[in-house]
Amino acid sequence: MLNFSFQNTTQIHFGEDQIKTIRKAIPKTAKVLVTYGGGSIKNNGVYDQVAQALSEHTWFEFSGIEPNPSYDTLMKSQAIIREHDIDFLLAVGGGSVVDGTKFIAAAAKFEGDDPWDFVAKGQPIKQALPIGCVLTLPATGSETNAGAVVTRDGNKLPFFSPLVRPLFAVLDPAVTLSLSDRQISNGVVDAFVHTMEQYLTYSVNGKVQDRFAEGLLLTLIEEGPKALAADSTDDLEVRGNIMWAATMALNGLIGAGVPQDWATHMIGHELTGAHGIDHARTLSIVLPAVMKVCTDAKREKLLQYAERIWNLTEGDDDTRINRAIELTEQFFETMQVPTRLSQVDLGEGDIDALIAKLTQHGMVKLGEHGVITPEVSREILVKAL
């Protein structure tokens, strides 16, 4: 196992009716800005629950944070923050709202010329407003991690700072019942791929990390389809297991002390930046191609994955690996997400521009060995056609 330091400070309030805990979790003297997206929280009762819980607080709101939150939208919050002297942010929504709120929190305290510099130029974040969140879409893990992804002019880029990690996260599985099938699928697949990015690399004998990761993968494979099945769409236990799996998949735990890949995500971000494809749907297209192109580098872990996740013990190594990749694709198909670029109307002619963007963004040594150059990324995209 590799050396590591691990700390996750987010307090989690899990379960039905937990939104009311924010009353105590946010200081009474705080001036709160509630941030949210396009209005789903007004239709499913979450906004009302938040308003009720904040009835003794002074609070304002900022709405309209869109999926794949944009710099331009997020910067509009800054005037409200200054006007009302906001000192606490409450994000109510999915990963986009939580990520966008992380950007808002750091931008509000940024002292340079343009907050985009901490995204594009890696300028350190020295201060940020405190954040709490009410998660409505289990997927990204943003509710307890220190990362966020923001888009400006088609450039979708991640940034990280422990200062933007939420102080608390409310995880109420009941609020996910209003999700569309598309968003349920996206969430399950995103969490699955987060786990794979930290698991499917090379072995460092991290037995705890491996078995935690395998537990998450098995849970998502078992529960994901149930959340879409007609006879269990409103099963709160299914939703709860998916929600907790998604948080655990990217809260730092399974990635501590093991190598990590993230090539699928970085290539996927370019597909979203250039073509607006949902985040998870880029991952379901790219991951199988990464597994095929990087088979040699990932051989040992692919065999472990084949045996422990898909019970494949018969046949030679290549047969088991190929079958495991096939079953991964079948799982994605069951979750109703695409596994080929052609399914999202992209072809060979689109690859040059994607490679140019990866290069422009410095994504030229991806993967756990840093050997996924733009040429290898091209091979991966060709494999995904």
Residues near 370 by Cβ (< 8 Å), separated by ≥ 6? none
Nearer to ligand NZQ, 77 or 183 (CB): 183
Q: Does 250 bind ligand NZQ (CB under 6 A)?
A: yes
Distance, first Cα to last Cα, the chain? 36
Which of Zn ion, ligand NZQ, none interacts with 136 (beta carbon under 5 to 8 A by kind)?
ligand NZQ
Which of ligand NZQ, Zn ion, none interacts with 255 (beta carbon under 5 to 8 A by kind)?
none
Q: What is the CA radius of gyration of the chain?
A: 20
* Cα(174)–Cα(239) distance, integer angstroms: 8
At closest approach, how far in Å is the CB of 265 from ligand NZQ?
Answer: 5
At closest approach, how far in Å is the CB of 118 from Zn ion?
Answer: 20
* Cα(104)–Cα(75) distance, integer angstroms: 7
Pairing of strands 155-160, 147-152: antiparallel
Quickly list H helices, the chain: 22-25, 40-43, 46-53, 71-75, 77-84, 95-108, 116-120, 181-199, 207-228, 236-249, 263-275, 279-293, 295-310, 317-334, 351-360, 374-383
Nearer to ligand NZQ, 31 or 275 (CB): 275
The contact pattern for ligand NZQ, residues 66-85, with x = CB under 6 A and - = no contact, is -xx-----------------
CB 199 within 8 A of CB 210: yes
Return the residues of window 38-57 that contact ligand NZQ according to CB under 6 A.
38-41, 44
- The site for Zn ion, by CB under 5 A, has a size of 1
The contact pattern for Zn ion, residues 187-206, with x = CB under 5 A and - = no contact, is ---x----------------
At closest approach, how far in Å is the CB of 88 from ligand NZQ?
Answer: 20
Return the residues of window 113-142 that contact ligand NZQ according to CB under 6 A.
136-137, 139-142
Q: Does 366 bind ligand NZQ (CB under 6 A)?
A: no
Selection from 136, 245, 270 nearest residue 195 by Cα: 245
Selection from 249, 18, 254 nearest residue 136 by Cα: 18
Between the alpha carbon of residue 151 and those of residues 75, 81, 154, the distances in Å are 12, 21, 6
Q: Which residues of 117-155 are buried (b: 16+ CB within 10 A; e: fewer)?
A: ebbbeebebeebbbbbbbbbbbbbbbbbbbbbbbbbeeb
Which of Zn ion, ligand NZQ, none interacts with 373 (beta carbon under 5 to 8 A by kind)?
none
The contact pattern for Zn ion, residues 148-187, with x = CB under 5 A and - = no contact, is ----------------------------------------
Which of ligand NZQ, Zn ion, none interacts with 341 (beta carbon under 5 to 8 A by kind)?
none
Nearer to ligand NZQ, 66 or 114 (CB): 66
Between the alpha carbon of residue 310 and those of residues 33, 283, 304, 329, the distances in Å are 46, 20, 10, 12
Which of Zn ion, ligand NZQ, none interacts with 247 (beta carbon under 5 to 8 A by kind)?
none
Q: Does 173 bind ligand NZQ (CB under 6 A)?
A: no
Which residues are at the interface with ligand NZQ (CB under 6 A)?
A: 37-41, 44, 67-68, 93-97, 99, 136-137, 139-142, 145, 147-149, 175-176, 178-179, 183, 186-187, 190, 250, 265, 279
